[in-house]
């Protein structure tokens, strides 16, 4: 679904005005995983680029992660209130209700519109597009967008194919109404899905189709890694080209590429397909793993913190996730500081 820029040239647009991130304190490195599974630090690093990941302790939930990241983003923006909260997550605290209203309440934002978006690893891009639409239409002036997942809770602790890959965390941005000519203005967006391939990444039990299962494995993520790799690289490149074309940008115009942090080889493959230099990639997967919907805002935060993402940089954002879902957008990075 290609979409136009959030507004006409010089018109109303969603502008990034604040940034926050949070990782749970517990760090699990590859050596620790290797003590319980048939794998090694070298095997994990060479195939994924991951050295360590943050993991929630028992009792810590997605709402906890999202609240901390959201609070930091609000402080970064200097806002006490927003009009809406959009939470991208595939690991809500409960199947029903959604977790966004609980996050809003924790942040002292009770009464605002608050809802979840579940596009898994593409969730943050989908949530940005949703929030940009609410702002462009005049429904809201300020929106808190959070990507948060406690994805390790969906991973079979005995599965060497998924345990090394995933981590937990949350990242958030505040969007405000502005103009499309401002630094931080989001858009255009390009969003897609393919439900015929849903079984490539799926948790089979726990939902309405299969509420209960005698097979414990049905409650954990089943991932067909080789097929996912192939589709992820191709789709991320496709939607990236689409937004570049819509904006009238060329690949040479891109200063930084912030892709979903799923696997370093996927990021490199997308860069190769697009013709982007590898030094344009924003990469933090080595210390976070794949944090699903939190991946892109966490990468934003790390890149701002280390100075590799600077005001004025032209940024291409692209993600791919279960569903299948994928999407991309663009912005010129604004002058924002981490709280």
- Establish whether 290 is a catalytic residue: yes
Please pick, among 121, 192, 231, 284, the residue that the annotation labels catalytic. Answer: 121
Strand pairing class (168-179; 221-223): unpaired
H, E, C per residue of 150-170: EHHHHCCCCCCCCCCCECEEE
Please pick, among 5, 54, 231, 260, the residue that the annotation labels catalytic. Answer: 260
- Establish whether 121 is a catalytic residue: yes
Task: Determine contact, residues 260/291, Cβ cutoff 8 Å.
Answer: no
19: tokens are 């940034």
- Establish whether 239 is a catalytic residue: no
Please pick, among 30, 118, 263, 290, the residue that the annotation labels catalytic. Answer: 290
Phi/psi class of residue 317: alpha, beta or left (left: φ > 0; alpha: ψ in -120 to 50)?
beta
* R_g of the chain, CA atoms, integer Å: 19
Q: Which residues are catalytic?
A: 121, 260, 290
């Amino acid at each position: 679904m290609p979409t136009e820029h959030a507004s006409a040239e010089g018109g109303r647009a969603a502008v990034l005005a604040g940034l926050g991130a949070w990782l749970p304190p517990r760090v699990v490195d590859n050596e620790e995983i290797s003590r319980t599974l048939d794998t090694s630090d070298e095997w994990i690093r060479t195939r994924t680029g991951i050295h360590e990941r943050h993991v929630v302790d028992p009792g810590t939930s997605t709402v906890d992660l999202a609240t901390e990241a959201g609070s930091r983003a609000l402080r970064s923006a200097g806002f006490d209130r927003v009009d809406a909260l959009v939470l991208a997550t595939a690991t809500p605290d409960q199947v029903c209700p959604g977790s966004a209203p609980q996050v809003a309440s924790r942040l002292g934002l009770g009464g605002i519109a608050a809802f979840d978006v579940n596009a898994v690893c593409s969730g943050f891009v989908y949530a940005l597009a949703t929030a940009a639409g609410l702002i462009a239409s005049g429904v809201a002036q300020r929106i808190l967008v959070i990507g948060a997942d406690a994805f390790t809770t969906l991973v079979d602790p005995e599965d060497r194919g998924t345990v090394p890959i995933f981590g937990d965390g949350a990242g958030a941005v505040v969007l405000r109404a502005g103009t499309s000519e401002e630094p931080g203005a989001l858009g255009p967006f390009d969003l897609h899905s393919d439900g015929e391939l849903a079984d490539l990444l799926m948790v089979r039990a726990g939902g309405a189709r299969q509420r209960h299962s005698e097979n414990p494995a049905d409650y954990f993520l089943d991932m067909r890694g080789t097929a996912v790799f192939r589709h992820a690289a191709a789709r991320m490149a496709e939607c990236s080209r689409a937004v570049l074309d819509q904006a009238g940008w060329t690949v040479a115009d891109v200063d930084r590429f912030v892709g979903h942090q799923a696997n370093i080889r996927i990021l490199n493959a997308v860069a190769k397909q697009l013709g982007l230099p590898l030094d344009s990639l924003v990469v933090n997967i080595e210390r976070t793993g794949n944090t699903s919907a939190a991946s892109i805002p966490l990468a934003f935060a790390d890149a701002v913190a280390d100075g590799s993402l600077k005001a004025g940089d032209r940024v291409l954002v692209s993600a791919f996730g279960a569903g299948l879902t994928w999407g991309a957008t663009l912005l010129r990075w604004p002058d924002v500081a981490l709280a």
